[in-house]
Amino acid sequence: MKKFGIIVAILGIALFITSNFFYKKTSNAVDSSGSKEIVTGPNGSWTFKLPVFAGGALFVIGLIFFAASRTDNQHHDHLI
């Protein structure tokens, strides 16, 4: 479980970092919806940065699995 948490966290960080290279923001002064930037995906269509969000979520899930895999005597040894 501990190794699984570490692997998931590393995959989350990798997905978070690498997916930022495939998206670009375009300034649009004539946008009628009021936003100043449009996010476009690799194929040029408007999109939401779902891989970036998924990478962050995987990182948090990996940290949760890593923390849950610790035994009870390891949790508060530094406090005693």
pTM, two decimal places: 0.61
**Amino acid 61: pLDDT:** 93
Amino acid at 66: F
Cross-strand pairs, 40: 24, 46
Alpha helices in the chain (DSSP H): 2-18, 50-68, 72-75
pLDDT, one tens digit per residue, over 20-69 is 776 666 665 555 555 555 566 666 666 666 777 888 899 999 998 888 88
Which residue, among 60, 73, 75, 77, has the nearest Cα to 5 in the 3D structure? 60
pLDDT at residue 39, as a whole number: 63
Tokens coding 5: 């948490």
